Chains A and B, each alone.
Chain A
Amino acid sequence: GAVVSQHPSWVICKSGTSVKIECRSLDFQATTMFWYRQFPKQSLMLMATSNEGSKATYEQGVEKDKFLINHASLTLSTLTVTSAHPEDSSFYICSAVNVGVNYGYTFGSGTRLTVV
C-alpha cells in the first residue's frame, strides 16, 4: 500500500534555531501534500498545501515566513520551522495525495517538535 515516510519522528532544538521536517511518498508520486499541526488532545489543524513545483498555499493565520515549505520533487516536501520558539512545540504531520488510488490521502507518522 501507499506509504508516506516522515522524518525525523522527534526533534528537540534550541530556541532561535531552525528545524527541517521531511515528508516522502515512498511508492507513489504526490503532486500535492498537506502539512498539519496538532496540539495535545486536539485535532489536526491544516497549515498549508504543498504543491510540487509551485509555491505553497498557507491557511489563514499561518506565517509563511516562519513555516517554509518546499516541494521540489514529486516525492518530497519539506517543512522548515525557522527561528523556532517554545510555542512552536507541537506534533507536525504531513499527508500526501495519491492520485493513483482514487485520490486517497496517506499520512506520515508525525514529528514531535520540542523547542527548549
Chain B
Amino acid sequence: TQLLEQSPQFLSIQEGENLTVYCNSSSVFSSLQWYRQEPGEGPVLLVTVVTGGEVKKLKRLTFQFGDARKDSSLHITAAQPGDTGLYLCAGARNQGGKLIFGQGTELSVKP
C-alpha cells in the first residue's frame, strides 16, 4: 500500500509552461518534504512544510501543504529546461520518524 500517492508520474512539457505535481494521502503527516533528484545522486531537499495550509515559495516553485496535512502540491511557473529531473514528495508521521516517499514525478522540460 502506497501511503503517498504522487501524480503525475511522468510529465513532458515545453519551456515556459506551468505545471503542478500533487501528493495525496489518507494519513496525516507531521511534515512533508519535496526533493529533487538527479540521476546517480541522492535527493536534494527543496522545502519542508509543517503547518496545515502553509504556502512556501522558492523562486518559480510554490509549495502548499493541505489544511488537514494530508496532501501537498508543487507548482512550477514558466518551467525551464534546467527544471528537468525527478521530483519526490516525502512525508513523516512524526518528527524524525520514517520518511516515506511518493512514486516520484519525472519532469522533462523541452526547449
Contacts and interface: CB of A to CB of B under 8 A. Distances in A.
A112 to B, nearest CB: 7
Q: Bin the interface of chain A by size.
A: 20 to 34
Interface string A28-70: 0000101010000111111001000000000000000000000
Interface string B77-102: 00000000000101010011011111
Interface in A97-116: 97, 99, 102-105, 107-110, 112
Contacts of A105: 33, 45, 92, 99
Nearest to B30: A103
A107 B46 CA distance: 13
Nearest to A30: B96
Interface in B58-111: 88, 90, 92, 95-96, 98-104, 106
B104 A43 contact: yes
Interface of B: 6, 33, 35, 40-45, 48, 88, 90, 92, 95-96, 98-104, 106
Closest 4 CB pairs of A and B: A103-B96, A107-B42, A43-B104, A103-B95
